């Protein structure tokens, strides 16, 4: 399934000597034959395993590639790297297992079912657990887990890509995109900047980088927090007095260290919001689980459904699942978790704004899409709109509703160099809440066409 044995043999036959044999052999070792509880005859190839990004400390990142179905011609489809945020949260737990991945996990934590709106129906999707210490990714030097930040995460992700393309040479020069959500609002543009700069002056780069797409993205501290506080107030989640206090006491434009007054106002805001799911304010939180960790850096907290996270915990900690995935081959001393507290709590560097990078990428004529589920109170639609507004881009197509089967799926505005899309009724993880609409969004992005504007 996927790339046929014939295709792989052909690759081997056209190269001189043994230069390609080793990568192809490594690729075949990574092939997943069957996951425990997986539906049979799924029609697409999967690969997973480790790519070393630092020999000295033994840092290795875990990936899971789900190719497009054979019937859809994976060899002609683009490659899309998906990154979840946190920092410290797993793209296997969220993106692959409850958002756009081909399989979702049943409540028993043992069996899988097909996702009809899986994004690998449109592209080859590469999920990466990053940085080391997240999920199955690891470092032999455990003290490193306490020192990760934006800069090293981006550098390691780039090294991963370079080495991964050597293992999968059939993807060299293929159209390549980077996508993600939440704190990947930092990961995606920072990695994109490295790829773009490394490609400069190369006529036919191995990494044929075309663009980025990020959802409910942490973008600019000042505008993110102004927009978040406004969202809380306009959606009736906090009182007038608390909103005023947040606006006065919390200044994130110049410092990431909040004042005592700001911390007090945030604590009051949490109490006033009550026991809701801030990642999806109109849906019920999991009754049997304590409320999600929230706080000043709430944007770094857990993703949507703690009950769904529990299914992932059960499934990916099963030895037979790890064996099928070629994961945990070194016997990591801690269990697989949806998010790493160590990595997230000890994060070292986090720039205040991604806007300068976006300006560079826009000037490079790369394709840039931002989207927002409009029921997320953690990185809400108002935050993203304020950040985009700060770029002062000319408008090409003004705000308009987009449609899915005659119903408004959300709204969109097209700027010179950037497209913004909202998804109506979706929370922080858009493909989880609105899978069909997210699929339409992804298809429009890949085609670089504006969202469907007629009912």
Give the tokens for residue 424. 């109506």
CA atoms 26, 28, 31, 33: torsion sign: negative
Of 165, 1, 184, give the one whose Cα is nearest residue 82.
184
Indicate which residues carry an active-site annotation: 182, 376, 428
Residue 6: which residues within 8 A CB-CB, separation 6 or more?
Answer: none
Report helix, strand or coil for 110. coil
3-state secondary structure of 213: strand
- CA dist 355 → 82, 224, 390, 391 (Å): 21, 12, 8, 7
Burial class (CB in 10 A: 0-12, 13-18, 19+), 211: buried
Unique residue bearing structure tokens 């070194």: 330
Give the DSSP letter of residue 235.
T
Mutual angle of helices 221-234 and 381-390, in 10-degree steps: 140
């Amino acid at each position: 399934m996927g790339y046929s044995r014939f295709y792989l043999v052909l690759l081997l036959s056209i190269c001189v000597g043994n230069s390609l044999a080793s990568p192809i052999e490594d690729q075949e070792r990574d092939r997943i034959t069957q996951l425990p509880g997986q539906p049979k005859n799924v029609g697409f190839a999967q690969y997973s395993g480790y790519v070393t990004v630092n020999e000295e400390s033994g840092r290795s990142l875990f990936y899971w590639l789900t190719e497009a179905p054979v019937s859809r011609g994976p060899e002609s489809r683009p490659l899309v790297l998906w990154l979840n945020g946190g920092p410290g949260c797993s793209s296997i737990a969220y993106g692959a297992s409850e958002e756009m991945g081909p399989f979702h996990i049943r409540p028993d934590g043992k069996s899988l079912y097909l996702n009809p709106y899986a994004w690998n129906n449109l592209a080859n999707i590469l999920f990466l657990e990053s940085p080391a210490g997240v999920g199955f990714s690891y470092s032999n030097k455990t003290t490193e887990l306490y020192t990760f930040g934006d800069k090293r995460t981006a550098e390691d992700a780039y090294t991963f890509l370079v080495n991964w393309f050597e293992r999968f040479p059939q993807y060299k020069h293929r159209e390549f995109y980077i996508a993600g959500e939440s704190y990947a609002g930092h990961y995606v543009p920072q990695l994109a900047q490295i790829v773009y700069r490394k490609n400069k002056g190369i006529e036919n780069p191995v990494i044929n980088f075309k663009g980025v797409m990020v959802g409910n993205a942490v973008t600019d501290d000042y505008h993110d927090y102004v927009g978040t506080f406004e969202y809380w107030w306009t959606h009736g989640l906090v009182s007038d007095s608390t909103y005023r206090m947040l606006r006065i006491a919390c200044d994130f434009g110049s410092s990431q260290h909040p004042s005592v007054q700001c911390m007090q106002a945030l604590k009051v805001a949490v109490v006033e919001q009550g026991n809701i799911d801030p990642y999806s304010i109109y849906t019920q939180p999991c009754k049997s689980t304590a409320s999600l960790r929230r706080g000043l850096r709430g944007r770094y907290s857990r993703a949507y459904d703690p009950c769904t996270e529990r299914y992932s915990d059960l499934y990916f900690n099963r030895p037979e699942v790890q064996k099928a995935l070629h994961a945990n081959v070194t016997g990591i001393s801690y269990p697989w978790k949806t998010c790493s507290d160590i990595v997230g709590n000890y994060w070292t560097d986090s720039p205040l704004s991604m806007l300068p990078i976006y300006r560079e990428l826009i000037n490079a004529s790369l394709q840039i899409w931002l989207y927002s589920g409009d029921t997320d109170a953690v990185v809400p639609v108002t935050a993203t709109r304020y950040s985009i507004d700060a770029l002062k881009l000319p408008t090409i197509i003004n705000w308009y509703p987009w449609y899915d089967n005659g119903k408004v799926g959300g709204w969109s505005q097209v700027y010179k160099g950037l497209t913004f899309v909202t998804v109506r009724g979706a929370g922080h993880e858009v493909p989880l809440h609105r899978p069909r609409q997210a699929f339409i969004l992804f298809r429009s992005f890949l085609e670089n066409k504006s969202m469907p504007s007629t009912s």
